[in-house]
Structure 1
């Protein structure tokens, strides 16, 4: 096993200002700000970006994804992504998170290059579109050539612990030319082992707990959740104590 590096950065995936603040309190070094996490994350609102930037001291990376589903985008969707990148820059984001593929599963090099250029000088992460790319080695090499700063990946597996072998291979292949950011299914029980197995220097986590709102009235016949039995008064909010527990595990406590 690779010895876990010192000061592994925790990036918390959040979908609200309260979650972002809790992540910072718990010791996260960066947040990935999204909306619509039930679809894997889409671009958050301008108001959410602005409030996070105004209230947080840590880095705020903004998801640039116009819809759920796959990563083959129409011309209109691509234009939306360009506009969202411009807005994220204006609102003070520190980085953007994006991913585009061709129909055959290769990285869409031409469009990705244009979006990277539009985003600079912000940091750019290529998200888990990587995990459905046809050839992970070829995809990684394409991203290195594009100057992408890091790639978020579960190792093309359902969770990062299940994909640890490929993640470790990607870390070695990257050789410092691009960051490898393991994400999906990482929590207090496995974060230290995953870092030891892979040699990654950053991890992407959720760390949420259910929180009931103060709403007293409820119509049990109506729910706005995708699940039939969804309770609209229970929200998944980042738990500062869970983030703190992961940080302690990474520090060896």
Structure 2
């Protein structure tokens, strides 16, 4: 039986290289993780071919809520096309309506631009009023994966809900636990949820190596420690 896959979210090409070298099997490629992750810059996307792992590109044109104008949706469509042109394995996005539920029309519009790409519904899923309803909507829309903490502040707290979501999937869509995952709790999360992949940032704690405020850098040692637990 193969070990669970580890996806690490990063905000730079250099961090992607470090994460893969330390054991990440897939990258969520972003910018501005301190803001929750935004679409990477064109320059960062152009370097994606040199990352030795599949890259899921965040499509998020601005920080803040997930309710987007039509103009912002048009920007997101172009960002999806650019990500594909630069070799992305897939894209990560989500849209909510004014009531906090999934915006089905907007998501369907974006999904039409995703031919040839894998698709992950991001943690907008953790803000919906009913996750079981949203799960069925994501399946109907054709998403390949949902990133979720089970609606809780972190995946360990939401592990029982994540397990219920996985049970309700019946293999129709992948559920990717994420938020607050590290070597100290990964075994519990995998055991409780039955998930076969995890999402983590493995960020450095304390002073960042560059000394720049707002920088979220990957700690290779935390990636290695998490990978070792997942391999047990």
TM-score bracket relative to the smaller structure = over 0.9
- Structure 1 stretches of 4+ with a deviation exceeding 3 A read 233-236
- Unaligned regions of 5+ residues in structure 2, if any? none
Shift of 1:211: 4.2
Q: Which residue of 1 aligns with 2:203?
A: 208
Q: Which residue of 2 aligns with 1:85?
A: 80
Shift of 1:144: 0.5
Shift of 1:105: 2.1
Write the deviation string for residues 163-218 of structure 1: whole angstroms up to 9, x where unpaired.
111101000001110000011000110011101110111110011225423xxxxx
**Local SS of the residue matching 2:227:** helix
**Residue 246 in structure 1 maps to residue 226 in structure 2:** yes
Q: Which residue of 1 aligns with 2:35?
A: 39
- How many pairs are equivalent? 230
Q: In 1, Cα distance between the equivalents of 2:66 and 2:114? A: 19
Stretch of structure 1 that moved more, 153-162 or 239-248: 239-248
Q: In 1, Cα distance between the equivalents of 2:198 and 2:5? A: 6
- Unaligned regions of 5+ residues in structure 1, if any? 214-230
Q: 2:59 aligns with which of 37, 59, 64?
A: 64
Q: Which residue of 2 aligns with 1:153?
A: 148
Q: In 1, Cα distance between the equivalents of 2:202 and 2:50? A: 20
**Residue 165 in structure 1 maps to residue 160 in structure 2:** yes
Residue correspondence of structure 1 range 163-242 to structure 2 within 5 A: 163-209=158-204, 210-213=207-210, 231-232=211-212, 235-242=215-222
Is 1:212–1:233's contact at 8 Å kept on the other side of the alignment?
no
**Residue 12 in structure 1 maps to residue 21 in structure 2:** no
Q: Which residue of 2 aligns with 1:21?
A: 17
Q: In 1, Cα distance between the equivalents of 2:123 and 2:213? A: 30
Shift of 1:115: 1.2
Write the deviation string for residues 214-252 of structure 1: whole angstroms up to 9, x where unpaired.
xxxxxxxxxxxxxxxxx4289542122211111110111
Q: 2:96 aligns with which of 93, 96, 101?
A: 101
**Local SS of the residue matching 1:238:** coil
Q: In 2, Cα distance between the equivalents of 1:198 and 1:135? A: 19
Q: In 2, Cα distance between the equivalents of 1:111 and 1:21? A: 34
Shift of 1:111: 1.6
**Local SS of the residue matching 2:77:** helix
Q: Which residue of 2 aligns with 1:225?
A: none
Q: Which residue of 2 aligns with 1:122?
A: 117
Cα distance change, pair 77–235 in 1 and its aligned pair in 2 (3 A): closer
- For the pair shown, the structure with the greater C-alpha radius of gyration is 1
When normalised by structure 1's length, the TM-score is: 0.87
